[in-house]
Structure 1
Amino acid sequence: MLVQIDDDGGVRTLTLNRPEALNAFNEALYDATTVALRDADADPDVAVVVLTGTGRAFSAGNDLVEMQARITDPDFQSGEHGFPGMIEALTALRKPLILAVNGLGVGIGATILGYADLVFMASNARLKCPFTSLGVAPEAASSYLLPRLIGRQNAAWMLLSSEWVDADEALRMGLAWKLCDPEDLMAEAGRHAAVLASRSIPSLMAVKETIVDPTRDAIAEAARREYAKFEVLLGSVANADALSDFAERKTQ
């Protein structure tokens, strides 16, 4: 099962489950996560959604082998929902979303933090937005969400540099709300999720709607700008070289 689903007292925990690929998102995982988010949103018994990963990674981002196939394979098949579907599901989610970042988060594994209501991060976790090192544009409306969340200069450094940000720096920037010892991460995220789940679900949804609704149009516009830039740069010399280097390292 690509996304493990566990319910406990109004808290639904979704666990990305491709540990052999560091929970990198291929089309199948995008589809499974989209469906899981939509199902949690529609379930009247679910008050809070927690998202985490199996193994040593939260998510290594886009599956770069599949990204290269998108460029080189004329028969490449996109998923039913794919990346756009998951972003739409995150944007439309009416229930509070808690992220428990258990390990490295790269690409969408970092930019997804912009959709969270609360982020708990293991003290040994780290984040990277590798877009410039891959020769592509930002994604997931991060060009809008990150400056809004952590300020222009912090966002510029993350999006422009392709450098790692450790957990302490993520906390300082405001990307993470609380740092936890790795062994305490899920218990701490679960404890806070249970507090929220003890409240009225319609009230939780009303609070989230009043926070998020003013941003939804701007998120959609930012995503459209990013998709347009991404399509131009995908398969460019810089991108093709980066993907080729990655493929060679995988086979060594």
Structure 2
Amino acid sequence: MSIRIEDRARVRTLTLDRPEALNAFDTALYDATTEAVRDAAADPSVAVVLLTGAGRAFSAGTDLREMRALTTDPNPPRAAHGFTGMIDAFADLPKPLICAVNGIGLGAGVTLLGFSDLTFMSSEARLKCPFTDLGVAPEAGSSFLLPRLIGHQNAAWMLMSSEWIDAQQAKEMGLAWKVCPPDELLDTAREHAELLAAKPVSSLTAVKETMTAPLRAAIADARTRENACFADLLGGPANTEALTAFAEGRAPDFGNLPAGA
């Protein structure tokens, strides 16, 4: 099982549990996370969902080794839900989502924070959107959600530069609500989750619905644009060079790509 599930005081804690792969999302973890979030949404005994990671990472995003294999496989295995299904599950979650970012977050390990209602970060955690390093496009509605959450210029830097930002920067931008010492992170996040979970679920879901309903059409439109760009770039010259460089343990060289690539 690539995800651990624990219930306490009407809080369901989901722990991404591939520490040997920095909790990178492979097909199995995408599917397991999708099902876990959907189950939490449907379970009347759950009021709040708390998401965190095992080990030293929150999530390193998409498993690049699997991504490279899929781009070269003429008959790739079919996922039950995949990345799109997981993002659908987070976007549709009617209950509060709290994220406890315990370590590094890359790619999907950052963009899913756009669906978080409260984000707590370890003071040692760092975040990176590596889309330009991978020669691909943004994902998960981040081209809409990040500018709305942290402002246009902060979002432009995160999405275009592929540079790391630390926990304090994330808090100053508005991407994290609170920064905690590493050994206090989960307890602090749980304390806030249990405080919310003591409230009526009907009221919690009404608050979230009234806050998120006006955004749904814009998120869906952003995801459609992103998916089209991503599909166009996946397997292209820049993406192929990035994945080859990753497999060879070197920095990618985009300087000799065809014009416009």
Same fold (TM over 0.5): yes
Partner of 1:31: 31
SS of residue in 1 equivalent to 2:76: coil
- Matched AA of 1:240: T
Partner of 1:219: 219
- Matched AA of 2:131: F
Partner of 2:196: 196
1:111 and 2:139 matched:
no
Mapped partners of 2:229, 2:13: distance in 1: 34
- Matched AA of 2:209: E
Partner of 1:79: 79
- Matched AA of 1:197: A
- Per-residue deviation at 1:76? 1.2
Partner of 1:143: 143
Mapped partners of 2:4, 2:72: distance in 1: 32
Q: Which runs of 5+ in 1 are unaligned?
A: none
- Per-residue deviation at 1:172? 0.4
Mapped partners of 1:186, 1:78: distance in 2: 35
Partner of 1:167: 167
1:209 and 2:209 matched:
yes
Q: TM-score under structure 1 normalisation? A: 0.98
Partner of 1:99: 99
Q: 1:47-86 maps to which residues of 2 (within 5 A)?
A: 47-86=47-86
1:43 and 2:43 matched:
yes
Which contiguous aligned blocks of 4+ residues in structure 1 show a shift greater than 4 angstroms?
A: none
Q: Which runs of 5+ in 2 are unaligned?
A: 251-261
1:129 and 2:129 matched:
yes
SS of residue in 1 equivalent to 2:51: strand
- Per-residue deviation at 1:66? 1.0
- Per-residue deviation at 1:217? 1.3
- Per-residue deviation at 1:78? 2.9
Partner of 1:10: 10
SS of residue in 1 equivalent to 2:133: helix
Partner of 2:157: 157
SS of residue in 2 equivalent to 1:55: coil
Mapped partners of 2:126, 2:112: distance in 1: 14
SS of residue in 1 equivalent to 2:39: helix
SS of residue in 1 equivalent to 2:179: strand
1:181 and 2:181 matched:
yes
Partner of 1:228: 228
1:150-173 C-alpha deviation (Å, 9 max, x unpaired)? 000000000000000000100000
- Matched AA of 1:44: P
1:26-83 C-alpha deviation (Å, 9 max, x unpaired)? 1110000000000000000100000000000000000001111121011211311000
Does 70-79 or 87-96 show the bigger shift? 70-79
- Per-residue deviation at 1:16? 0.3
More helix by share: 1
Mapped partners of 1:217, 1:38: distance in 2: 21
Mapped partners of 2:17, 2:94: distance in 1: 24
SS of residue in 2 equivalent to 1:131: coil
Partner of 1:237: 237
Mapped partners of 1:60, 1:155: distance in 2: 19
SS of residue in 1 equivalent to 2:249: helix
1:22 and 2:29 matched:
no
- Measured on the aligned residues, the alpha-carbon RMSD in Å equals 0.8
Q: TM-score under structure 2 normalisation? A: 0.95
- Per-residue deviation at 1:216? 1.1
Mapped partners of 1:206, 1:47: distance in 2: 12
For these two proteins, the number of residue pairs brought into alignment is 250
- Per-residue deviation at 1:97? 0.1
